Amino acid sequence: MARFSRPSTPRLLYTLYTSPSKTVQSPSPSPSPSPSPASSLLLGSFHLRQFSSGNLARAKEDKEPWWKDSMDKLRNIGISAHIDSGKTTLTERVLFYTGKIHEIHEVRGRDGVGAKMDSMDLEREKGITIQSAATYCTWNGYQVNIIDTPGHVDFTIEVERALRVLDGAILVLCSVGGVQSQSITVDRQMRRYEVPRLAFINKLDRMGADPWKVLNQARAKLRHNSAAMQVPIGLEEDFKGLVDLVQMKALYFHGSSGEKIVIEEVPADMEALVTEKRRELIEVVSEVDDKLAEAFLADEPISSTDLEEAVRRATIAQKFIPVFMGSAFKNKGVQPLLNAVLSYLPCPIEVSNYALDQTKNEEKVALGGTPDGPLVALAFKLEEGRFGQLTYLRIYEGVIRKGDFIFNINTGKKIKVPRLVRMHSDEMEDIQEAHAGQIVAVFGVDCASGDTFTDGSVKYTMTSMNVPEPVMSLAVQPVSKDSGGQFSKALNRFQKEDPTFRVGLDPESGQTIISGMGELHLDIYVERIRREYKVDATVGKPRVNFRETVTQRAEFDYLHKKQSGGQGQYGRVCGYVEPLPAGSPTKFEFENMIVGQAIPSNFIPAIEKGFKEAANSGSLIGHPVEHLRVVLTDGAAHAVDSSELAFKLAAIYAFRKCYTAAKPVILEPVMLVELKVPMEFQGTVAGDINKRKGVIIGNDQEGDDSVITAHVPLNNMFGYSTALRSMTQGKGEFTMEYKEHSPVSHDVQTQLINNYKGTHAAE
């Protein structure tokens, strides 16, 4: 293709201009030329190949790293919204205009094909998106990775994981429904992860569409500092096109699928409105951008370039949210939105990402985000594909190549990359290498989601290694015996996908117990087993993971003696149990303080094992005993009859005997609950928390909402999401995370013990 200059040519670079009929090479003697719009059509891969071999030295001379152009032309975006705001429809149109698909299918289309991004059967049937599929497309010479995120509140772990991976996002709002409860949740998550965003007001063709009402709602409810970047020409059935406030041009969308854009002058009857809206846009942006403010206050004319640069600066700094409009279903306004993604959302180098250095006690390290650094990649999503596990990786730094060895920091394993692919919903294209900022998928790599991969030179993780303990358990079992295989396959997969989801066996009843972070969390998984693996499961009553502990020191002196023809059993242990001091890192401590050889040292591990086993189920309600210190001070052994088993049994019986004397108490998990409810419901909600034996520790006001923080025992939080919805007309929401285990009140303890005794007596 292009004839690149030899080193002997003094600083001369040939820029390639392409036109349909001919190729012209023009010498450009400038020291560091910027790529022309036409040459920007020569995309990433060509650029990379040419630079990566012979031109590295030249690139260094020009002070432009080889990856600079490729990184500037990369966008990682997510599209999130309230359910049914037209998010998947918008993605479908984006894929159509960028040439990734050649015909458009609707989400609940009559043709039965369904939208491209909804690749799970269940999603097509219900018209909702559950898993975030990652899709890649190109627009105007830029590469755009789109992550389609779920809109349902129940799938928040997916949304949060997707948001960590994005550099920017589009928040879709419905022009009729406006800002709905889920829009608020998604927006809060974006703010938490500091994602710059654009807003897109969709469905302007519907009856009752009012974009200005929605814009004001976004300012009031979401606290957005936002302004319209476009003005619609007509609304509802008369919606014809848009006026671009930056360029001051009218855009009309012609052709069967709106693919032909006709640019005309602003209609005369709209000039006054357009001038007013442009002034409003400049005012809002100049409040947060000093450079534009100077020009605005000096009453200088503001060119479209100045305004565009100011909007980009303010958007990336998360001080401003530009608002675009259109109707994805009617194919209007999607291309300008794509241009806005390129113009206003950041490329990977403009976003600061942090890793946690495991060698320095999880200290935060800023990542440069360049392909020159060591490899750091995050596995943010797993899928069971036809060829085994497919792992989606977001590369934060460095380069990954097919055949390279990479290290999984979370497990410490070294893995070879067998196959590297770029994903398009559920189809894939093989690639040889990928660099920082890109989203790729790898096959045949065994890992869990949230694992971090590096090239072995650094020990960084992208997420904290400290996974919270599960606080709630359910017993599940498949209805038919034949589906056991599928059932266990499902549980294994979910455990890998979600670190907070655990599976175990109840030693007494032999049932499978699943544990997680709350009721909703476990319900979703039971439902997914039913849908994705076609296994009907029966669900037992939810169980809270209680613990027991001792409150005072108690002595033990126990002799275990059994004589039954042949070798008997003999073991005597003396000592005491006591509670561990508050804040100690371990939950069980064993100390041997025997002086001399009263018990031969080879039996000591058996005694420790016995105490550990006994502490696995306390005698109050059969739950594990924590914060316990066992000290062995004396004992006796028999030359013939003493054995490891004898001492282990002696330890178990000694523990049971002295346990009641140590005044044991039951500990229950206490949750830190954060509620966000409109002010008018504050009294009702606070009263309900007190009824649930909660302690309110904070009450702040955030706009029209009241934010209540409380510590509530988990045992009293069952069915709370339903109760909260009915108390607040569906406007309230809450988050709940584990805080600590703390002692229960005396009456609750008596009740729990009686329940436990009752069930055991019945058995």
Q: From the annotation, which residues make up the binding site? A: 81-88, 148-152, 202-205
- C-alpha 743: how far from its chain's center? 33
β-pairing, 197-202 vs 321-325, is parallel
Distances (CA, A) of 313 to 89, 124, 262, 298, 372: 29, 39, 29, 20, 26
CA quadruple 44, 49, 52, 57: dihedral sign: negative
The tally of CA atoms less than 13 A away on the side-chain side of residue 539 is 18
| 727 neighbors 682 (Cβ within 8 angstroms) | no
- Nearest 10 degrees: Cα torsion 517, 523, 525, 527: -170
Q: How big is the CA angle at 371 (ends 370 and 373), to the nearest 5 degrees? A: 75
Give the span between the Cα atoms of 699 and 573, in whole angstroms: 54
Residue 165 near residue 120, CB atoms below 8 Å: no
**What stretch of H or E contains 761?**
helix 746-762
Instruction: Provide the 8-state DSSP code for 337.
Output: H
Which residues are part of a known binding site for GTP? 81-88, 148-152, 202-205
Query: What are the CA-CA distances from residue 496 to residues 389, 493, 500, 512, 586 (Å)?
Result: 11, 5, 10, 17, 27
User: Helix, strand, or coil here: 312?
Assistant: helix
**Three-state helix/strand/coil letters over 418-444:** CEEEEEECCEEEECCEEECCCEEEEEC
Q: State whether the Cα torsion 83-85-86-91 is positive or negative.
A: negative
**298 close to 306: Cβ distance less than 8 angstroms:** no
Nearest-CA neighbor of 649 among 618, 613, 599? Answer: 613
Nearest to 419 by CA among 393, 443, 388, 395: 443
CA distance 164 to 147: 11
CA distances from 319 to 224, 307, 726 (A): 9, 15, 36
Which residue type is seen at 151? G
Q: Cα–Cα distance between 369 and 435 in angstroms, integer?
A: 10
Q: How far apart are CA 231 and CA 643, in angstroms?
A: 87
Tokens of 556: 């033990």
Buried b (16+ CB within 10 A) or exposed e, 529-560: beebbebebeeeebebbbbbbbeeebebebeb
